[in-house]
Amino acid sequence: MPNQLIAGRYQVLRAIGRGGMGTVWLCRDDVLGREVAVKQMGALPGESATETKRAMREARSTAAFSHPNAVAVYDVVNHNERPWLVMEYVEGETLADEISRDGQLSPRRVADIGAQLAGALARAHQRRIVHRDIKPANVLIDKAGRPKISDFGIARGQGDDQQTAIGFITGTPGYLSPELARGEDPHPASDVWALGATLYAAVEGRSPYESRSNPIALLRAIATEPPRPMTHAGALAPAIAAMMDEDPANRWDMATSAKRLGGIAAVEATAVMPVAASGDTAVMPVVASGATAVMPVVIAAPVVEPTKRFEAGAPQQQPPDERGSGRRRVSLGLAALLLAAMGMAFFVSQLGDQGGTPLVLATTRATTPAQTAAPSPSRVSEEPTTRGDQKHLESFLKSYYSNVTKDTDRTWDQLSPRMQSFAGGREGYDDFWKKIDKVRVNEVRAYDSGTKASVGLTFTRDHGGTSTETHQFTFITQDGDYLIDSDRLG
């Protein structure tokens, strides 16, 4: 196949993968002089005209929308009486590759990936397009760290005639929702379940169901049994549980998933970490769209009702073999209440009815008056801060950021317990900071008697990228020393 010319324009360089219904080739576009991914469709043994029409439907469905987190479709051509899809070539690796190499990914990074993918899939669902094969291998991570959903090779519009044959299953068995495993028709809620299962695999380092050599046995397990309990998902566990609810009617829709995952990613990203430099991801559109100067609205953290099947919310220190619906309900409630207790700001995208207004998780009951929230520093009535407070905070922060990229053993003890929790525990904290080369403290403005500060920071990642941000800190003192108690972008 290499060195062949497809449709008189696309020079084949090499095979780069296989999708749901065909081989993907790296080609050079002789007209525009760029590299593209070209997918031959309808080329599997024994395929009929039905499958060929199905391949053309993929092209129509995929080309019907565009999104920064979906692989772009450039062209559909006919070559040797077969349809070929010409797509954006994404240089990078798949999420499956990253999981295989790194094992469990941090809840913050997984929430960020999930929020971006859910945004793309919500757009597809608005156009009545169902992906049907969401899995780690179909999530590409580009060189900038941005995730893109790929392989709409089995995408179909809602309302299209069902085109299946006896014994033919559309999708990857390990990531099929319970209703698809039972033979029901695909719908948007099925994609939500599959994305939840993909995020489960990323944060746990394993798929929700144990691998089995017999795919029928695996489908039966998905249809009748709960997924394996989560033990590493932390604050992300209730969201995954809500996306993987056995009952499609009880699941979040994809737009809600995007908003909630974005909120979790933003909260996790405040753990003394640069938001714009989230892991290897240089772009966080959910945070950017919510970063307004509007006074925060105080709400109680929503408690995600646990699924009857899913033992999702167990704290990490709890043995994974504890069972029972009562314990599952308590665990999920504790996970949600943990978020409420932290009192950290998170931002939601402008897709929802909050219009990008930052929401502050309440530290007290929902009946607490809104005015008890800490106001935005840009509008705060500041209490006097002495020169000594200013100099002390400057010295502390410069020392902290000078040491954090070299000695996390030292800086870990400079966080309050709740900040340590938001950092994803020691493992998540170390995992993040090993990817940051250095941090420069540009400006420190202390206020409220030295208990708060607005700080300008410039982060340099280990691959050379930089980001400059302003963070709002609060501090507590212990034995005369400062501890960072909260940190948010703004």
pLDDT digits (tens, 9 = 90+) for 356-406: 333 232 233 333 333 333 333 333 344 555 677 788 889 999 999 999 999
Task: Classify residue 371 by its DSSP letter.
Answer: G
pLDDT tens readout for residues 35-70: 999 987 754 445 566 766 666 666 666 666 789 999
Q: Reduce the DSSP state of residue 318 to 3 states and report it.
A: coil
- Residue 218: count of CB within 10 angstroms of its CB: 19
pTM of this prediction?
0.55
User: For the packed helices 254-269 and 188-204, what is the interaxial angle rounded to 10 degrees?
Assistant: 20
Residue with tokens 């094969």: 133
What does DSSP say about strands 297-299 and 345-346: parallel, antiparallel, or unpaired?
Answer: unpaired
Residue with tokens 């809104």: 370
Amino acid at 153: G
Residue 300 has what pLDDT? 35
The pLDDT mean for the chain works out to: 74
Which one is predicted more confidently, 448 or 305? 448
Among residues 75, 102, 133, 253, the one annotated as catalytic is 133
- According to the model, what pLDDT value does residue 418 have? 79
pLDDT of 109 above 70: yes
- How does pLDDT run across 213-258, given as a tens digit for each residue? 888 889 999 999 999 999 999 989 999 999 999 999 999 999 999 9
Largest CA distance in the chain: 80
Give dist(CA 429, CA 434) in Å, integer: 9
- Whether the Cβ atoms of residue 184 and residue 158 lie closer than 8 Å to each other: no
481 pLDDT more than 50 = yes
**What is the per-residue pLDDT for 385?**
59
Q: 3-class DSSP state for residue 100?
A: helix
Tell whether the model's pLDDT for residue 262 goes beyond 70: yes
Based on the residue annotation, tell me whether 133 is a catalytic residue of this protein.
yes
Helix (H, G, I), strand (E, B) or coil at 287: helix
The token pair that represents 53 in the structure block: 């029409």
Structural domains in the chain plus CATH codes: 5-88 (3.30.200.20), 92-162+169-361 (1.10.510.10), 387-489 (3.10.450.50)
C-alpha span between 472 and 376 (Å, rounded): 9
Is pLDDT of 85 > 70?
A: yes
Q: What is d(CA 5, CA 1) in angstroms, rounded to the nearest whole number?
A: 9
**443 phi and psi angles, rounded to 5 deg:** -155, 140
Which of 204, 198, 214, 233 is CA-nearest to residue 96?
Answer: 198
Question: How far is CA 20 from each of CA 3, 77, 152, 154, 184, rounded to the nearest angstrom?
Answer: 24, 19, 8, 6, 19
- Decide if pLDDT at 178 tops 90: yes
pLDDT score, position 411: 95
Share of the chain above pLDDT 90, in %: 39
Measured CA to CA, the distance from residue 117 to residue 69 in angstroms comes to 6
CA torsion, ordered 197, 198, 204, 208, to nearest 10 deg: 30
> What are residue 26's DSSP bridge partners?
14, 37
Q: What is the DSSP string of 139-192?
A: EEEETTS-EEE---TT-EETTSPP---TT---S-GGG--HHHHTTPPP-HHHHH
pLDDT, residue 115, reads 96
- For residue 315, the Cα-to-chain-centroid distance in whole angstroms is 20
Taking the C-alpha atoms of residue 284 and residue 464, their distance in angstroms, rounded to an integer, is: 18
For residue 340, what pLDDT is reported?
40
Q: What is the mean pLDDT of residues 467-475?
A: 86
Task: Give the three-state DSSP class for 333.
Answer: helix
Phi, psi of 364 (to 5 degrees): -125, -170
471 — alpha (psi -120 to 50), left (phi > 0) or beta? beta
